[in-house]
Chains A and B, each alone.
Chain A
């Protein structure tokens, strides 16, 4: 073969592919196949039955999520049942049982502590149709969050300020973290996702010192997100008894949230989820999520088509109209990249400097800006500044990015190159 074919072969062999199977999908499919086979054998598959329905279900995104979730939940919560069987044979568990157990939970009340040691309360009440219309209230001395009827209110008493957001799928990193910390306690869907995406998922069964009874301990770690969790499950009820959540990987330091008591199916009055805007409070409508995403997508499309002046103009609109949105940092970075690709190096450097000035350490976002700024400095001979910028990138990547991927790898190599022998 020719040299250029060898080049292609090398590229093919080095092509990174995200091909790690999702255990939840695997387990969900196995269950479906089992049931489909049972039906096939018993009915001889004379007509479309469960196999066809299972196929349709698994081909639908929601169906896949449901089966993946069910499998993950069974795996996580069914540990107690699995371990009941002394010899491992004739395991007495079924997906339906675990799903049924979850479906019996109508309310959750959690008492816990934040990282600063401040107490919090969180109540969740399942909607009548289990379709995600749960109501939720989270309360500390400094913050009250109420989610109900597709609207989320965040009240900050010290500022006497209410932030109102339409929708339950909250966008943006800061709000996402808020949603995540709330949804964790709501339960099942996040638990399934936690198991599916964990870098490490460890289960052990031992005596719980606090209660004196046997319990199932689960720890899981998400280095890319810089998060980790610890759960204690009650084997009898299969439900979470206590939990901790860290905004660091490997459960370093004090947990950011600790649930020290979780009560299921207590009576929770509806009034708890009623929210009235306090007198004199400043109300900020933080909706408009779709508008800003559309604007961002337009900017991305222009960038993709290399219509760089137009892309810059639209990215600028994103930044100017939504400065508190985490994508504002991204928009500023992209303005710098567009200038760079247009050969406007000074403007590129200015934009990237502004990005890191305004968003110096926005995890998951700022490190890219630091990387490109380092590259600008390096190419213009500002070696010391370049090393500093690449160093910042490397430092910010810890616990957020993967060491072998962009920008961590590229920044590390750049530092080595700049600080190594000439």
Chain B
């Protein structure tokens, strides 16, 4: 985790971690945020990077991830008065909102199709518009396609485990299941990915 990325557990390590435009907040940030809209905006900004990254990791498209990140925080605005708890609870609440928002986004078939379409063009442009006709790029495309093809819940577990580096217990706490359920869902998701990758016929042997 980088210095400015924020901490999943919500502990502030350095005032400079707050990022541009943010101000240090004394005492309980949640209480401050309830009273002061600027402190509320700072609190959200503090967690912006992590939420945005998670959205990218789920959607593989920056523009869409920015849209969904905006939606997540606007839901926080709407629900903050009803939220009870400290900053660690806030972080868990935020993750749940983010996960539900991304899942809802992905449940719309048209949106998923659009993401798949974006991926198809993306793999062929590494920054310059020039197609990359190499095996590694094709493999990455196939993997992203396979991930987007998973059920949203399974996809969330894959993203939390492999892109957010969360433990099974942390995922269970966020998703509201037991660790054994998460483990079994993770195993099923990996098996499905393996099968889809084998079917795609690119890269290494997965069958």
Residues of chain A touching chain B, judged by Cβ–Cβ distance below 8 Å, are 1, 4-5, 7-9, 11-13, 15-19, 21-23, 25-27, 29-38, 40-41, 45, 51, 54-55, 58-59, 61, 64, 75, 89, 224, 300, 303-304, 327, 330, 333-334, 337, 340-341, 364-365, 368, 372, 401-402, 405-406, 410
Q: With a CB–CB cut-off of 8 A, which chain B residues contact A1?
A: 187, 190
| Contacts A33-B41, A33-B73 supplied; 14 other A-B pairs, CB < 8 Å | A4-B207, A5-B190, A19-B52, A19-B57, A30-B21, A30-B44, A34-B37, A58-B70, A89-B23, A334-B131, A368-B130, A372-B133, A401-B128, A402-B127
How far does the alpha carbon of A405 sit from the alpha carbon of B129 in the complex, in Å? 14
Residues facing A in B24-79 (CB within 8 A) are 37-38, 40-42, 44-45, 48-49, 52-53, 56-57, 60, 62-63, 65-67, 69-71, 73-74, 76-78
Residue ID in chain A nearest B207 by CB atoms: A4
Q: With a CB–CB cut-off of 8 A, which chain A residues contact B185?
A: none
**A332 to B: closest C-beta gap in Å:** 12
B57 in contact with A17 (CB, 8 Å) = yes
Report which of A34, A55, A224 forms a contact with B74, defined as CB distance below 8 A. A55
Q: With a CB–CB cut-off of 8 A, which chain B residues contact A364?
A: 128
Q: Is the CB of B206 closer than 8 A to any CB of chain A?
A: yes
Interface stretch of the complex, out of B91-99, B106-114, B138-146, B166-174: B138-146
How far does the alpha carbon of A368 sit from the alpha carbon of B74 in the complex, in Å? 43
18 A-B residue pairs with CB within 8 Å = A11-B197, A12-B162, A18-B56, A21-B48, A22-B66, A25-B69, A33-B74, A35-B37, A36-B77, A38-B37, A40-B78, A55-B74, A59-B71, A64-B63, A64-B66, A300-B131, A330-B129, A410-B134
How far does the alpha carbon of A4 sit from the alpha carbon of B77 in the complex, in Å? 44
Using A8-B193, A34-B41, A337-B133 as known contacts, say yes or no to A25 and B204 having CB atoms under 8 A apart: no
Contact indicator per residue, chain B 181-201, by CB within 8 Å of chain A (1) or not (0) = 000000100110110010000
A8 in contact with B194 (CB, 8 Å) = yes
Residues of chain B touching chain A, judged by Cβ–Cβ distance below 8 Å, are 19-23, 37-38, 40-42, 44-45, 48-49, 52-53, 56-57, 60, 62-63, 65-67, 69-71, 73-74, 76-78, 80-81, 120-121, 124, 126-134, 136-137, 139-140, 143-144, 158, 162-163, 187, 190-191, 193-194, 197, 203-207
**B36 to A: closest C-beta gap in Å:** 9
Using A1-B190, A5-B190 as known contacts, say yes or no to A26 and B124 having CB atoms under 8 A apart: no
B190 in contact with A15 (CB, 8 Å) = no
How far does the alpha carbon of A19 sit from the alpha carbon of B55 in the complex, in Å? 9
B53 in contact with A21 (CB, 8 Å) = yes
A17 in contact with B163 (CB, 8 Å) = yes
B70 in contact with A59 (CB, 8 Å) = yes
Q: With a CB–CB cut-off of 8 A, which chain B residues contact A5?
A: 187, 190-191, 194
Q: With a CB–CB cut-off of 8 A, which chain A residues contact B197?
A: 8, 11
A330 in contact with B130 (CB, 8 Å) = yes
A17 in contact with B207 (CB, 8 Å) = no
Q: With a CB–CB cut-off of 8 A, which chain B residues contact A45?
A: 78, 81
| 6 nearest A-B residue pairs (beta carbon) | A58-B70, A34-B41, A37-B37, A12-B162, A19-B56, A55-B74
